[in-house]
Structures are given as structure tokens and as C-alpha cells.
Amino acid sequence: MATATPSPSTDSSLATLPTDAISYADLYARWERGNWRATELDFTEDARQWREEFTDFERQAALWNYCLFFWGEDAVADNLSPYIDAAPLEEQKYFLTTQQVDEARHAVFFKRFMQEVCEIGDGSMSSGLTAIKPQLTSGFRKIFDRLDRMADELRADRSPAKLAAAVTLYHIVIESALAQPGQHFICSYLEERDQLPAFRAGMENIAADEQRHIGFGVKLLSDLNREDPVRVPKAVAAILRDVTRYTAQVLMPPGWDEKYLTVFNYTFDKVGVEGLTSMTTKLRSAGLAIDTLPGPALLPPGLSPLEISQRGRALAKAGVIGVREGASSRDPETLAVLFDTIARQVNPNHGLKSPTTFQWEFTDPDVPTWHLTVNNGSSSVEQGEAPHPDLRLRLSYQDWVDIVGERLDPLRAVATGRLRPRGNPLALARLGRVFPRG
């Protein structure tokens, strides 16, 4: 049974947020006013333009992008039921029910376009989804696999913290950081080129729906934070730490060929900056600014959104973060970015009373030694050996990269002899304070 609205926190930082200006009833009313019909769009002209005006490569590039949306809309529609059950207020449940209807309508829209314009599938949802599955990127698969697991977790645990983690994954990461920039990308080039009129109309309707969904998610997140201001920020930080390392690989073109985007006058970084800005803005509006969340820094400090986007793409392409396919790159540029990122991730509250130097000595003959010196208020990283390192870490380059990418547990690496620390035992103990685990 739904409960009464929780009393707002007396904390002034939570008492007046942008989300306080809108009610759940208003969001529901906006849904009624914004209803549209996916089954009544006429794709006749779209089909002609698809055949006659798009080049072979443009069709290939557009289809790759649209497949992600088709699969994603079906997946989110399937996973919304536990959110409805976990929502504490009836008004929240009603809105989430409208969102599930929206997501189903979006899936029907994409299924129709795929079959009637692109000639994919036999008109059934299952045939269309089966046909497009090979197009899904590795980052997309990871994040939507996490959404599946989150739905199961939410069925077992309806606490404010678990619901906040689920809303962060669904509404903040998937809808705000990933889907919304993709929608803007598609709508902008179709409008510029005046192509696919029915598809463009449907995408504009979807973008309006998603904007409403995101507004709801931000409001619900702020309310949950007021209800449990201790556990909710921890849950939000944990789910962001779990999935953001895969976001650079969601809109990852085949072979990292950026022509899949530039053919439509867009770039990877334009999408990346918009997604990052959207995510951080929505979290701030919910009273959960990303740089105030507990635990290790979620983004490298001191970098602009563009620099973070460029760095994320570079480290993903190099096989450092995200899904690794084959050996990770070890060229000088990758090593420099990797160790600069490590230096930026040093916990500013490490508590070290004297300068401490950590040195990485790789067993690979072609990978040079690097060292990091952590001091009060500053950290510096350099290639080469330090005169007197406090702790020496000997391991293979690939094992270290897999530790950084959270594919190898460092404690397991030590237990199995893959990581061999040498030096001051106190420095080894301090390493956990310098790089705390989330």
C-alpha cells in the first residue's frame, strides 16, 4: 500500500530545489495532454526517401543508431513494473504507469519503422528484436544487462535507497545521459535534411515523452534523498560507479569509425558532452551534485566536459575502461592519459601526513615504470623510477589495466601472486586510503 508523502527535510540545501516547482499530478496531466498514436503514422514517404535519398552508408549508419533505440525502448518497457510497485506514493505509481505505456508505444513505433521502412522483421516485435540484436554495442549491452538485474533487485528490496539507485540508472543515466542526446542527434539531422517526416514526427513525440519522464525521475530522486539523506547518496554513487565506465561504449560505432556520426554532421564528443552535461545537471537539480556524492570521485577532477568525453573515449578505445576486447593499448599516449587519470582520482581526504610515493614496475619489457607521489594538497605522477619509493607494485601491464577497469579485484591479484607489493607495509595500508574502493 502506498504511504503518505514524507516530510521535507529541514536541510536548506534540500528545502528549495527546482523539482519543488512541479507536482506529480501536473506531470500526469502533461501526459494526458501529450498523448499520440504510434499506429497512425504514415511511413509511405519515409520508405521512399529511405530507398531513394539515403546512400548505402547513410542507411547503414542510421540503422545502427536506430537499432539501439528500438531495443532500448522494449527493454525499459519490460523493466518498469517493479518501479511501480516500489514507488511509495499513489501519484508516483500512476505516473510510472503512464511511462510504461509510453515506452511500449515507443517500441511499437520503432518496430513499425523497422518493418515498413527498413524491411526488418515480419511485423512481429520478436522478429524485429531478433534481427537487430547483433547491432547492439558492448557498452549498451552492459548497461541494459544492469537494468535487468536492477529490476530483480527492486522486486526484492523496495527501500528508498534501492529505488533511488534504480531511478538513477533508468531516468538519469539511460534516459537523460544516453537517450536524450541520441534523440537530439537524430532529430537535428532529419530536420536539417527535411527527411523521414513520419519518423521525425515520432522521434519528436518520443523526445517530449522522455523529457517528462526525466523530470519525474529527478523529482522522485530528490524526494527519496529527503527521506533518507544518508543511504540514498551512497546508493546513487554506487550505481553511477557501476555503469558510467561503460557509457563511452554505448554510442560506439563499428570499428570506432566516427563517420557513422559525421555523415550526419555530428561528432562523438558532441553527443558525449551533451550526455555528461545532462546527467550532472539532473543530479544537481535533485540535490545530489555528482562532486558531493560519497566515495571516490566519479569523474576526473579538473577537466571540462569535453576533456572528460575525449578521455573516456580514448580509454575505452584503448581497452582500459569498459568492455575489453583483446589486449589493452600500451602506447605512450595511452600510458600518459592512464596515469594522469590515476593521479586525478587520488582521494583528497587521504590523511597522509608525509609525502608517499607509489611505484608501478611492470613485468612487460616494453612498458616503462611510473610513479605517483601523494602529498598534502597535491599529487604528481611521472614516468620513470623514483629515488626512494615507499611502495613498489610489480605486476603485468594488462593486470594493472584490468584492476583500473574493475575487471580484476586487486585483493585477488595479491592473493594469487599477480600483484606483488614490496616496500613499507604502512604504505601498502595507506594505498587503500589514497584509492578507496566504492
* Best CATH choice for the domain 12-295 from the list 1.10.620.20, 1.10.10.10, 3.40.50.720, 1.10.12.10: 1.10.620.20
Contacts of 109 (CB under 8 A, 6+ apart): 38, 41, 73, 202, 206
Q: What are the C-alpha distances in Å from 409 to residues 56, 235, 337, 400?
A: 45, 21, 22, 10
At 376 the pLDDT is: 79
DSSP 206-275: HHHHHHHHHHHHHHHHHHHHHH-TTHHHHHHHHHHHHHGGGGGGTT--GGG-THHHHTTT--HHHHHHHH
At 15 the pLDDT is: 57
Equal CATH topology for 12-295 and 332-434: no
- To which residue does cell 540484436 refer? 133
The answer to whether 224 and 160 have CB atoms below 8 angstroms apart is: yes
Q: What is the distance between the alpha carbons of residues 92 and 84, in angstroms, rounded to a whole number?
A: 8
Please state which CATH class domain 332-434 belongs to.
Answer: alpha beta
At 58, the amino acid letter reads E
| Surface-to-core class of residue 34, CB atoms within 10 Å of its CB (0-12 exposed, 13-18 middle, 19+ buried) | middle
At 82 the pLDDT is: 97
Handedness of CA 60, 66, 72, 78 (dihedral sign): negative
At 270, the amino acid letter reads K
The answer to whether 82 and 108 have CB atoms below 8 angstroms apart is: no
Collect the ranges in the chain with pLDDT lower than 50.
1-14
Q: What is the distance between the alpha carbons of residues 66 and 200, in angstroms, rounded to a whole number?
A: 12
The answer to whether 215 and 27 have CB atoms below 8 angstroms apart is: yes
- To which residue does cell 528484436 refer? 129
378 DSSP β-pair partners? 375
Q: Are strands 391-395 and 356-362 parallel, antiparallel or unpaired?
A: parallel
Number of neighbouring beta carbons within 10 Å of residue 259:
11
Q: What is the distance between the alpha carbons of residues 77 and 75, in angstroms, rounded to a whole number?
A: 5
Handedness of CA 180, 185, 186, 190 (dihedral sign): positive
Contacts of 314 (CB under 8 A, 6+ apart): 333, 334, 337
At 358 the pLDDT is: 95
Instruction: List the strands of the sheet with 391-395, edge to edge.
Output: 378-383, 370-375, 356-362, 391-395, 420-423
Q: Domain spans of the chain?
A: 12-295, 332-434
For the chain, give percent helix, strand, coil, nearest 5. Answer: 65, 5, 30
Q: What are the C-alpha distances in Å from 245 to residues 167, 200, 249?
A: 18, 31, 9
Cell numbers placing 135? 547491432
Residue closest to 171 by CA, chosen among 51, 19, 64, 57: 19
- Inter-axis angle of helices 160-167 and 138-156, to 10 degrees? 160
